[in-house]
Amino acid sequence: MGRKTFSVAVAGATGAVGELMIQVLQERDFPVGEIRYLASSRSAGKTLKWKGEDIPVQELTRDSFKGVDIALFSAGGGRSLEFAPAAAEAGAVVVDNSSAFRMEADVPLVVPEVNAGDIAQYTRRGIIANPNCTTIIMIVALKPLHDFAKVRRVVVSSYQSSSGAGAKAMAELIKQTRDWVGERDLEVSAFKHQLLFNVIPHVDSFTDNGYTKEEMKMHNETRKMLHDNEIQVSATCVRVPVLTAHSEAVSIETERPITPEKARELLGAAPGVEVLDDPASSTYPMPLFVAGKDTCYVGRIRKDYTVPNGLCFWVVGDQLRKGAATNAIQIAEILARDYL
Ligand code: NAP
Ligand code: 3JN
């Protein structure tokens, strides 16, 4: 008997995350029977490859999901709100990359290395939410430390690459670089300010408490996935002139003490994480070398001498891969293996 296959739709197929989801489905040999590419009317008629074959991109509509088993959404929150319920209604299980449903009580928010068991809750709405990319990269490292020492407080600063804001934002940083070299005026539209030669402490919009939405996602989503509403996360999210992969400087306070040696041992054994930590040889993770990888890399592990049970570390992950596409496909793999 042949392997069971699934009809898979990719909504947002022409975007940075969508294109990578298509690539990751192929890399991981996901059992796709039929593939359907969906995007805006602007892209209708274009073609994208699937295993060497040209597949037309269709306009995303409420009628796009007949016969679809798994619908992977990365077309922005507005499109998720409008079309994900229609996809679920048509019988598909939606894996949604946006924040549209992440904090809804009846929608599981899942990083397989952290809370794969929550996937079972998908039957309530037919939707599983993929967390925010910056949160995913932090939580894969936080989880083994939390299991051992119970994390109570996190202070994190992110260094987020331009592709986190989409394909056009990454292209703008490249163009700013070319225009600067060519002594031409620089165009600024993807971010509030020029990113080249700059860092911008502003990711997503500001909320009433002075934090940005991106920063509050890190707090709220971490609590939901760890099933712990007492953990406190104070984040400062910063855009830096890097093309791909987000870096994060993380300081944690734990209930029980944890030594750097124990943290290195736990992180070394944790799924989805690799330790790169040898200051003597200038070895630590950097986005230039993490881009394109599915693993999140941790280094600079040290005791935080300013608090009793404190630990600092540095974690870097490709936000388009583990932060979005790979995490979504890992969820789809569990659905295909255990539920569908
Ligand atoms: P992107 O490169 O700008 O791509 C956006 C995609 O959405 C394109 O395929 C676009 O199609 C489609 N789209 C836009 N308006 C549409 C409409 N009215 N109807 C149907 N499709 C429409 O953005 P991205 O970086 O891939 O991110 C997409 C979403 O994924 C984000 O909004 C966010 O919710 C989530 N996400 C992103 C990241 C990240 O690191 N980038 C990480 C986690 C989650 P056209 O090409 O036809 O315009
Ligand atoms: O800016 C980044 O580095 C990550 C961006 C994520 C993002 C961009 C637009 C909308 C999100 C997200 O995943 O949280 C959303 C969203 O809220 O859906």
Which of 20, 94, 99, when mutated, tests ligand 2's pocket best, judged by the most ligand atoms within 8 Å of its CB? Answer: 99
Distance of alpha carbon 307 from alpha carbon 313, whole angstroms: 15
Q: Does 17 sit in the ligand 2 pocket, CB within 6 Å?
A: no
Q: 6-10, 70-74, 86-90, 165-169: lowest mean pLDDT where?
A: 165-169
Looking at the chain, the whole-number percentage of residues with pLDDT higher than 90 is: 99
Q: At residue 272, what is the residue type?
A: G
Please give the backbone phi and psi of residue 175, each rounded to the nearest 5 degrees, phi first: -65, -40
Q: Which of 72, 68, 119 is nearest to 97 (CA)?
A: 72
pLDDT at 43: 97
Would the CA dihedral through 119, 324, 75, 63 be positive or negative? negative
Whether 3 shows a pLDDT value over 90: the answer reads no
Across the range 220-240, mean pLDDT stands at: 98
pLDDT band, residue 302 (cuts 50/70/90): very high
Q: Does 18 sit in the ligand 1 pocket, CB within 6 Å?
A: yes
pLDDT at 2: 75
Q: Does 327 sit in the ligand 1 pocket, CB within 6 Å?
A: no
Distance of alpha carbon 25 from alpha carbon 23, whole angstroms: 5
Model confidence over 146-155: pLDDT tens digits? 999 999 999 9
Neighbours of 187 (CB within 10 A): 11
Written as one string, the DSSP assignment of 80-128 is HHHHHHHHHHTTPEEEE-SSSSTT-TTS-B--HHHHGGGGGGGGGTTEE
Residue with tokens 């225009």: 179
Looking at the chain, the whole-number percentage of residues with pLDDT higher than 70 is: 100
Distance of alpha carbon 304 from alpha carbon 313, whole angstroms: 9
Q: Are 100 and 84 in contact (CB under 8 A)?
A: yes
Whole-structure pTM value: 0.97
The angle, 0 to 180 degrees and rounded to 10, between the axes of the packed helices 167-181 and 16-27 is: 110
Average pLDDT, the chain: 98
Model confidence over 82-97: pLDDT tens digits? 999 999 999 999 999 9
Model confidence over 100-135: pLDDT tens digits? 999 999 999 999 999 999 999 999 999 999 999 999
Q: Annotated active-site positions, please?
A: 133, 246
3-state secondary structure of 47: strand
Residue nearest to atom 5 of ligand 1 (CA): 15
Distance of alpha carbon 84 from alpha carbon 119, whole angstroms: 17
Whether 1 shows a pLDDT value over 90: the answer reads no
Whether 179 shows a pLDDT value over 80: the answer reads yes
In the beta sheet, which residues pair with residue 160? 239
